[in-house]
Structure 1
Amino acid sequence: MQGNRNIIKGFIIIFAAAIMFGSVNMTSAASINLTQKQKENYYKQYTLILADINKKYPNSGLSLEPMDKFNSNDWVKPTTFKKIADKRATTNFVFKPKHKSDDSFDGTTKTKSMTVSGKNTKTISITGSFTTQLSSTEKRQLFSGISAITSKLAIGTGSWTQTGYEYKLIDGGRTYVITVGGKYTDNGISQPFWIDVEFYCNAFGSVG
């Protein structure tokens, strides 16, 4: 602590997200070799399939990656692609604390493990860097600002791109509610997600 200010860096919360694409890994089991003309034909069918699924699930936000961004494993039969896309449209990030100690306050660097059961689980890690300051009226440390909020795909296939974040400071400066926005991409399909995270500051300036 320097004076009445305390800079907290490298505070990490790790989440596991259940994103399941069926009972088997369909991409590795069903990827096929195609000519350029076949790829163009499949891509047109993929476009129509996603349009139908987005009509069925208007909040899914599924979008097709550009054709030149497809990996070799992304090319599957349209029937298989439909199954993958249909699963993606009805899934979301689900969080469950793994240990009671996840909510403890034990210093400036901390890892919270969140997990769910299921196949093909993805893990997004969210890192928050904060400042705290001693409140003369409350006689305790409170949050005074956010230095940075970053996130990444820590475990699993595909990619995660953070698009931004929003925050609210509540409980008289004791709690930050952070909503991290990002785009998850796999199997040639991109989907937006908004992940809510809460960070707590205790009386001594440690974050949990």
Structure 2
Amino acid sequence: MNEIKRQLEVKIGDTAQQQRNVIRKINEQYPTHAKNRPPFFTIAANLALFAATCLFVFSFIDKEGLDTATINAVPIPIAGEKGSVIEANEVLTPITEERKRQYYQRYVEIVEKAMEKKIGFSIGVEPIEEFKESDWIEPAEFEKIIQNDVTAFLATERETLAAVSTDLKPAVTNPTGETTKAAYLYFPDVVKKIEVAAIFDTQYNADKNRQLFSNVDVITTKFLSTHGTWGQTFQKATLLDGGRTYSIYIEGVFYANNVTFEKAFTIEFHCDEFGNIY
């Protein structure tokens, strides 16, 4: 700055040419930037700033689109098919009518096999005409679902009967020789008390020096409540413990609220050394 002041201190007596030479030297040594900047420089700077802003914004748009695609690729459950998943952009291929008939036949066989156990709950397969596309699953998966239902039912039955069976009384034999004994049967959401009656014969066994069962006859059953109806369909008695125990297997049908339940159960009668039955 001192140099500028020195050079600007132009004497009054200097000529115009001398003054112009001084100004030219100052401009050469200290060129200006802002005032002499050409107009197109400002326009170019603004365009560059605009382009950078656009790139910044578009970079966020692309990132958002990537995140959306990633979310859509996460497996989502398909309605009507337990445990199965499918990619969101995958297209389900409908199974053929022939394959549906094959599946349906397997469904029926699986249910019939489960019902053979006569555990006291009712399951079935809807008519094939009522199946929706989402209802068709692999027979192995269908069998797994049915087996899980059976296992859950039996577990509930054990817990329920264990809780209510503590009040059961010993068998009673009336003067006519008929012995009755009660038991509880479990059906979905209901427990029924049933009475089993039979006529037993006992005889003395000299080798064991005690009375033992020798025969059973006229095995009957009846519910001790009025709701629903029960019909006995089969019975089989098996002698156990060298004649000390009769195990009686019984099958029957319980009908209530327009639903039929097949039930099989076993009850035991015991004979003491004096021929008393309990």
Instruction: Give TM-score scaled by structure 2 length.
Output: 0.39
Paired AA for residue 98 in structure 1: T
Whole-angstrom CA distance in 2 between matches of 1:187 and 1:137: 54
**Superposition CA RMSD, Å:** 3.9
* Corresponding residue of 2:275: 205
Whole-angstrom CA distance in 2 between matches of 1:57 and 1:163: 18
Distance 1:106 1:190, change over 3 A: closer
Q: CA deviation at 1:115?
A: 5.4
Find out whether 1:195 has 2:265 as its counterpart: yes
* Corresponding residue of 2:247: 177
Find out whether 1:121 has 2:176 as its counterpart: no
Find out whether 1:98 has 2:166 as its counterpart: yes
Aligned residues: 135
* Corresponding residue of 2:10: none
Q: CA deviation at 1:200?
A: 0.3
Distance 1:176 1:98, change over 3 A: same
Whole-angstrom CA distance in 2 between matches of 1:160 and 1:174: 30
Q: CA deviation at 1:166?
A: 1.2
Report sequence identity in percent: 26
Find out whether 1:150 has 2:205 as its counterpart: no
Whole-angstrom CA distance in 2 between matches of 1:128 and 1:173: 16
Q: Tell me which protein shows more strand as a share of its residues.
A: 1
Unaligned runs of 5+ in 2: 1-106, 117-121, 125-148
Q: Tell me which protein shows more helix as a share of its residues.
A: 2
Selected match of 1:159 from 229, 235, 249: 229
Unaligned runs of 5+ in 1: 1-51, 65-87
Higher relative contact order (CA 8 A, sep 6+): 1
Whole-angstrom CA distance in 2 between matches of 1:159 and 1:104: 24
| SS of 1:98 mapped into structure 2 | helix
Distance 1:183 1:162, change over 3 A: same
Find out whether 1:59 has 2:129 as its counterpart: no
| SS of 1:59 mapped into structure 2 | helix
Whole-angstrom CA distance in 2 between matches of 1:110 and 1:147: 11
